[in-house]
Amino acid sequence: MKKSALFMAVIMVSFVLAACGSKSSGGSGDDKLKVTTTTAQIADAAEKIGGRHTEVTSLMGPGVDPHLYKASQGDTKKLTDADIVLYSGLHLEGKMENILKKIGEQKPTAPVAEAIPEEKLISTEEDQDMHDPHVWFSIPLWLYAIDEVEKQLSEAKPAYADEFKKNAEKYKENLKNLDKKARDQIESIPKKSRVLVTAHDAFAYFGKEYGFEVRGLQGLSTDSDYGLKDVQELVDVLADKNIKAVFVESSISEKSINAVVEGSKEKGHNVSIGGQLYSDAMGAKGTEEGTYEGMFTHNIDTIVNSLK
């Protein structure tokens, strides 16, 4: 049934693309460049860099899990109406890969996270050729993706390349300042307490960049299952290191982390929910957490306040 559904989705995209023909030609004259992104993190960069010359649409909103996301008929129209499509890549949008490749045959389509040098990526334990896709939790790495967004927009609208570059430099400077502020805040957490336990393994780049031991109950993708053994292993880590807080994620059910909290109580070690972190999705549009800077700031504040 899954293969059949995927086949039908690809056929649907092919049909719509054929019907649209060359309707989307990268924009001309004073028309705004229509940009469709998969995740809100990429949309935020496209909006900041493109400014008044772009109209940006993100397929995945608050609380949406990109690992499990499947394109709807409405999404297909947003993809085919776009002048340019930007997605994360590194298999983050696992269930959309075939559709994105098909779109890429018709218009500029770029996996922006794959602009990061391969030697800087974290390989998975199962396959050294596969990489952890959650790169936006390292600001220095995410800057590569921002450069790729600027490049793609400039190639699509070369008349505004200088303005895009200026906007990108300002955006990157803000993120570099945020990176420094985060490092200063983290210094208030004792080194032995820098253990971040979450529902799934989305914070490896964060841990590597900012000096945390990171444990996730599920693997890199929320498509993976967890069992009693996984819960018990986390409970043992919490007890051994005397960790008092674990974290839920905005795009994942609290059920898995609650199992860790209950398991810890049974072992005589009290653990509380330290707060909600934004992992694969950002906050609602129009809120602070609905921007990359606001999301990152929220996560740092939540982690520091709970672990220090």
Q: What is the pLDDT of residue 238?
A: 87
Q: Which residue has the higher pLDDT, 215 or 138?
A: 138
Q: What is the pLDDT of residue 88?
A: 97
- Provide mean pLDDT across the span 197-218: 89
| C-alpha 177, offset from chain centre | 20
Q: Please check whether residue 124 is in contact with residue 130, taking contact to mean a CB–CB distance below 8 angstroms.
A: yes
Asked if 2-164 and 184-307 have one fold, the answer is yes
CATH superfamily label, 184-307 = Nitrogenase molybdenum iron protein domain (3.40.50.1980)
Q: What percent of the chain has pLDDT over 90?
A: 62
- Provide mean pLDDT across the span 101-115: 96
**Sole residue written with tokens 């499990």:** 68
The Cα–Cα gap between 24 and 214 comes to 44
Q: Which residue has the higher pLDDT, 236 or 34?
A: 34
Q: How confident is the model at residue 86 (pLDDT cuts 50, 70, 90)?
A: very high
Segment holding 86, helix H or strand E: strand 84-87
- Reply yes or no on whether the pLDDT at 187 is more than 60: yes
Amino acid at 29: G
| C-alpha 232, offset from chain centre | 28
Q: Which candidate, 174, 231, 161, places its Cα nearest to that of 199?
A: 231
84 three-state secondary structure: strand
The Cα–Cα gap between 87 and 111 comes to 5
- Provide mean pLDDT across the span 245-267: 84
- Reply yes or no on whether the pLDDT at 14 is more than 80: no
Of 72-76, 142-146, 196-200, 303-307, least confident by mean pLDDT is 196-200
- Provide mean pLDDT across the span 182-199: 93
What average pLDDT is seen over the chain?
87
226 three-state secondary structure: coil
- 2-164, CATH topology level: Rossmann fold (3.40.50)
The Cα–Cα gap between 119 and 211 comes to 19
Q: Which candidate, 211, 223, 187, 259, places its Cα nearest to that of 65?
A: 223
- Reply yes or no on whether the pLDDT at 18 is more than 80: no
Beta strands in 181-296 (DSSP E): 195-200, 213-218, 245-249, 272-277
What is the number of helices (H) and of strands (E) in the chain? Answer: 10, 8
Tell me the domain boundaries of the chain.
2-164, 184-307
Under DSSP, the state recorded for 200 is E
